[in-house]
Amino acid sequence: MSGSPIFWLPAASTEGARTDHLFFLLCGISTLIVLLVLTLIVTFAIRYRHGSAAPRGRLPEFFRSEFEIGWTAATAFLFLFIFWWASAAQLAGYAPPPDAIEMHVTAKQWMFKTQQPNGAREINQLHMPVDTPVRLVMTSQDVIHSFWVPAFRFKRDILPGRVTQGWFQATRTGTFHLFCAEYCGTDHSEMGGEVIVMPKADYAAWTAAQPEGDDLGKAGGKLFVKMGCAGCHAGSNAVHAPNLAGLWGRTIPLADGSSVEVDERYVRDSILQPRREIAAGYEPIMPSFQGVASEADLTRLVAYIRSLATGEDAGQ
C-alpha cells in the first residue's frame, strides 16, 4: 500500500473516498471555528482587561440585530449543508448499483464465513475483483458482530435473525484487514481476516479454480425438494400454496390488506416465521423452519427462489 499508513490509512474504495472528504471537511470547519473563538477570547481578554480604557457601554444597534441575524443564519445554513452532504454520503452506501455482484457473509463466534456468487466458500477471507461493485448480504448465527474493513471505511453490524446489506467498490488491488467491530465474546479480538482485492482476470481465474464452485441456486433447488417445500409449492399439488416462480422482486398483497416486496428479507421471514406475513388468498398452513433450516440452507433456498424469477430452472 502506498501513502503513510502510520498517520493515515489510504482509502481503497469509493465509499472510502466519500467518507474521507466528509472527514476533512468537518476537521477543516472545526479548526476554523476553534481559531476564531480562540482569537476572540484572547482579543477581548486583553482589550477589556481590568482598568483598560476600552468603551463599555451598550453595543451599537448593528451588532444587536443585523449582525446577530447574519451569523445565526450562516451557521444554520452551514449545518444544513453538512447534514445534506453527510446524509447523501451515507445513503449512497445503502443503495448498491444494480450490476453489483453479491457475496454472502455469515458471522459466528469467532469467524466470518463468506461465500462467492458461484458458491465457493472461504473462512476469514473474501476475494473480490477490483473496480467492481460488491454487495454484501450478511447475517449472524449467534450474537451481534460487525464487518469492518478500515481501508474501505466500511463497517456494518451483522445481526442474528436479520439480513444486513451494504456495498462498496474496491479501487486498489491488495490485501486489506478485516475486523469484527462489535464485542462478541471471549475471542472477539481474534475475530477477523482479510479482504483480497484482485485484478479482474486474476479473480476470474481464482473463482474458476475453487473446488466448491457449486451453484448456490442449484443446491437450493435440491434442498427445496429434500426439505419438503416442493410437496406444497410445486405446480400441481393438492395443497393450495403459492407458486414461487416469478415471485422474486414483485410486490404482492398480504392477507391483512398490506403489501410487501418479495426480497431476501421477505423470503427468509416466510421460511422462519410463516405466520407473520400471510400471502393473500392462502391459509396459514406453512410450518416454520426455524431451527430446521440452517443459515447456509437459507442462503441456498433464497438463491433458488430468486433464480426462479428469471424462469431459468435451477434444478428442481
- Residue 271 binds which entry of ligand HEC, Cu ion, none, with Cβ cut-offs from 5 to 8 Å by kind? ligand HEC
- In degrees and rounded to multiples of 5, residue 17 shows phi and psi of -65, -45
For the bound state, the minimum distance from the C-beta of residue 230 to ligand HEC, rounded and expressed in Å, comes to 8
Position with the least CB separation from ligand HEC: 229
Are 288 and 272 in contact by the 8 Å Cβ rule? The answer is: yes
Q: How far apart are CA 224 and CA 301, in angstroms?
A: 7
Residue from 104, 127, 145, 300 binding Cu ion (CB under 5 A): 145
Please give the residues from 160 up to 189 whose contact with Cu ion meets the rule CB under 5 A. 180, 184
For the bound state, the minimum distance from the C-beta of residue 228 to ligand HEC, rounded and expressed in Å, comes to 5
Q: At what angle do helices 14-47 and 66-92 cross, to 10 degrees?
A: 160
Residue from 120, 136, 163, 191 binding Cu ion (CB under 5 A): 191
For the bound state, the minimum distance from the C-beta of residue 237 to ligand HEC, rounded and expressed in Å, comes to 9
Specify the 3-state DSSP secondary structure of 197: strand
- Residue 289 binds which entry of ligand HEC, Cu ion, none, with Cβ cut-offs from 5 to 8 Å by kind? ligand HEC
Site string for ligand HEC, 281-310 (x = CB under 6 A): -xxxxx--x---x-------x---x-----
- Residue 97 binds which entry of ligand HEC, Cu ion, none, with Cβ cut-offs from 5 to 8 Å by kind? none
- Residue 145 binds which entry of ligand HEC, Cu ion, none, with Cβ cut-offs from 5 to 8 Å by kind? Cu ion
Q: How far apart are CA 124 and CA 140, in angstroms?
A: 14
- Stretch of 114-122, 131-139, 164-172, 278-286 contacting ligand HEC, by CB under 6 A: 278-286
> Is residue 34 near ligand HEC by the rule CB under 6 A?
no
- In degrees and rounded to multiples of 5, residue 169 shows phi and psi of -135, 115
| Residue 165 neighbours by CB distance under 10 Å | 17
Compute the chain's Rg from CA coordinates. Answer: 27
Residue from 279, 303, 308, 314 binding ligand HEC (CB under 6 A): 279
For the bound state, the minimum distance from the C-beta of residue 195 to Cu ion, rounded and expressed in Å, comes to 16
| Residue 53 neighbours by CB distance under 10 Å | 5
- Residue 167 binds which entry of ligand HEC, Cu ion, none, with Cβ cut-offs from 5 to 8 Å by kind? none
Question: Which residue, 143 or 241, has its beta carbon nearer to ligand HEC?
Answer: 241
Strand bridging mode 101-108 / 111-115 = antiparallel
Closest CA to 164 of 142, 139, 197: 139
For the bound state, the minimum distance from the C-beta of residue 184 to Cu ion, rounded and expressed in Å, comes to 3
Burial, 189: exposed, middle or buried (Cβ in 10 Å; 0-12, 13-18, 19+)? Answer: exposed
For the bound state, the minimum distance from the C-beta of residue 298 to ligand HEC, rounded and expressed in Å, comes to 9
Question: Which residue, 133 or 166, has its beta carbon nearer to Cu ion?
Answer: 166
Strand bridging mode 164-169 / 101-108 = unpaired
Site string for ligand HEC, 194-233 (x = CB under 6 A): ---------------------------------xxx-xxx
* Alpha carbon separation from 68 to 34, 42, 48, 73 (Å, rounded): 19, 21, 21, 9
